[in-house]
Amino acid sequence: MSRVLVITLPPFAGGVPAKCRILVDHLRSKGHEVTVAYYATLSDHPDLVAPSWKPWRRPSTLERTIWNGVPAVAVGCRFPELEFPYYLPSERWTRLIKAHDRHIAVGGTVLASYPLVVAGVPHITWCAATMIEDRQDRRRAMPWPRRLVDQGLIGPVQARMERLILADQGRIRPVSGHTARLFQSMGAGPCPVMPIPVDCERFRPPAQPAPAGVVGFAARLNDPRKNLGLLIDAVAGGADLRLRLAGDTPQGELAARLNDPRLKGRVELAGELSLDQLPGFYAGLDLFAIPSHQEGFGIVGMEAMASGLPVVSTRCGGPEDYVTPGETGFLADDAAEMAAILARLAADRPLRAQLGANARRLAESRYSHQKFAAILSQAWAECWGEEP
C-alpha cells in the first residue's frame, strides 16, 4: 500500500474538512498510510508563522493527530496575512512531498495543490470552486483597507496561481458540474465530477416525521457566502414556518435580524453540532433550505436529502446538481420566492412526502460511498495506473 499525503486547509470546521475526512477514512480503510498536511493560518497557529511584524521569527511545523488518530502536520509560512504564501513551495513542503509516494490536494479552490504542481509530482486535486467565486462574498465583507489589498495584490497573485494549476496536468476533480464547467471555461482540460458522498446509513429518514413547517439550515452562519439573511427574511415572511439553525452563533446584523418581532418564538439556535449530533438535527426538520450566494457542493443539502428532506435552494452552484425543481425540491431567486415555496410545501403534505422520498432515492443512487469509491478508483487509476 501507499504512503499518501493529503494537502488541505486547516481541518477544523466547514465543508472542506468534512470531505477531507471522508477521503482519509476511505483511503485508510483500503490500507493506505495517510498523513494530512495543512497550512497553518495566523489565527489557528500564530506560533508557527512569521508575519511581517515579526520578521525575526522562522516558520515551523507542528506534528499532531486529528480525527481519531490520523497523523497531521501544520505547515507554517512567512507573511501569512497575505494568504497566498500558504501555498508557496518551501523546504517544509518539499520534505513532506518527498516523504510520500501518492499526493492528493483537497480544498475549496485548487490552490492547495500549488506545492504539488511546482514539485512536478502526479496528483489529484479535489476542489469545490474557482478562486474568485470562493472569494467574492468574503471580499465584500472585508474592511475597506483590507479589501483594497485583496483586490490589488492578494487576488491577482492567487488568480495567477490558479491559472498555472489549471494549465498543469494534475487530475482535477471538482465536486459539482457547475464547478467543472467554470474550470473548463477557464481553459482547464477534462474535469470529471467527484461529488462529496453522504453516509446513507448515518443519515436516514426518521421514524416519526417532524412537525410541518420546521425549516432548517446548517453552516458557518456568519460566513457571508451563506447569505443567512435571505433565509431569515423568507421565514419571517411565512407565518406558519419555524427556523432551526445549526452552526456558530449569528453575530452583528444577523443577530439583530433574528430579533425581528415577526420571528418571536419561531427561531431555535442548535449551536455547533458534531457529526454524531447532525442526524438528530435533520430528524427534527420538515424542510431544508440553502440560501447561499455560492456553494461548491453544499454537503449539508445532501445530508438533508439522505434524511428524507426536500431541499429549497438558491441558484448558488453545487446544489443545482441535486435540487431538481418539482422532484427533489425547488430553486428560488429571492426571499419572497423561497418563502412562498416553503409555505407551499408545509401545507401540501403529499407533495412534501413525495419530494422527500425522491431526495432519499437520489442520495442512495448517486451520492453513496460506494459510488464515490468507484469514481475515486477511476481517478486514481488515471493518475497512477493502479487501483487504490
pLDDT at 203 over 80: yes
Across 189-202, average pLDDT = 93
Tell which residue, 65, 3, 10, has the closest CA to residue 28: 3
Residues in contact with 286: Cβ distance below 8 Å, sequence separation at least 6, in sequence order = 209, 210, 211, 212, 213, 214, 215, 309, 345, 346, 352
Question: What was the pLDDT predicted at 201?
Answer: 95
- 308-329: per-residue pLDDT in tens? 999 999 999 999 999 999 999 9
pLDDT class for 143, splitting at 50, 70, 90?
confident
Whether residue 362 is predicted with pLDDT greater than 80 in this model: the reply is yes
- The Cα–Cα gap between 202 and 198 comes to 9
Mean pLDDT in residue range 250-266: 90
Domains for the chain: give ranges and CATH numbers: 3-197+369-384 (3.40.50.2000), 214-366 (3.40.50.2000)
Band of residue 169 on the pLDDT scale cut at 50, 70, 90: low
| Cβ contacts of 256-262, under 8 Å, gap ≥ 24 | 257/229, 257/232, 257/233, 258/232, 260/232, 260/236, 262/236, 262/237
Mean pLDDT value of segment 172-189? 91
User: Residue 290: pLDDT above 70?
Assistant: yes
Banded pLDDT at 72 (limits 50, 70, 90): very high
Per residue in 50-70, pLDDT tens?
999 999 999 999 999 998 899
pLDDT exceeding 90 applies to what percent of the chain? 80
Task: Name the residue among 89, 106, 82 with its Cα closest to residue 10.
Answer: 106
Rounded to a whole number, what is the distance in angstroms from the first to the last CA of the chain? 8
Q: What is the band of 189 on the pLDDT scale with cuts at 50, 70, 90?
A: confident
Counting every residue written for the chain, the total comes to 388
Q: pLDDT band at residue 74, thresholds of 50, 70 and 90?
A: very high
Residue range 94-110, pLDDT digits in tens? 999 999 999 999 999 99
In this prediction, residue 238 has a pLDDT band, given cuts at 50, 70 and 90, of confident
Q: Which residue has the cell 480503510?
A: 29
Q: Give the C-alpha separation, 168 to 159, whole Å.
A: 14
Q: What percent of the chain has pLDDT over 70?
A: 99
Q: What's the chain's average pLDDT?
A: 93
Tell me how far apart the alpha carbons of residues 288 and 308 are, in angstroms, rounded to a whole number: 10
Tell me what pLDDT residue 168 has.
82
Whether pLDDT at 1 is above 80: no
Identify which of 66, 56, 99, 92 has the alpha carbon closest to the alpha carbon of residue 77: 92
pLDDT for res 239: 73
pLDDT at 12 over 90: no
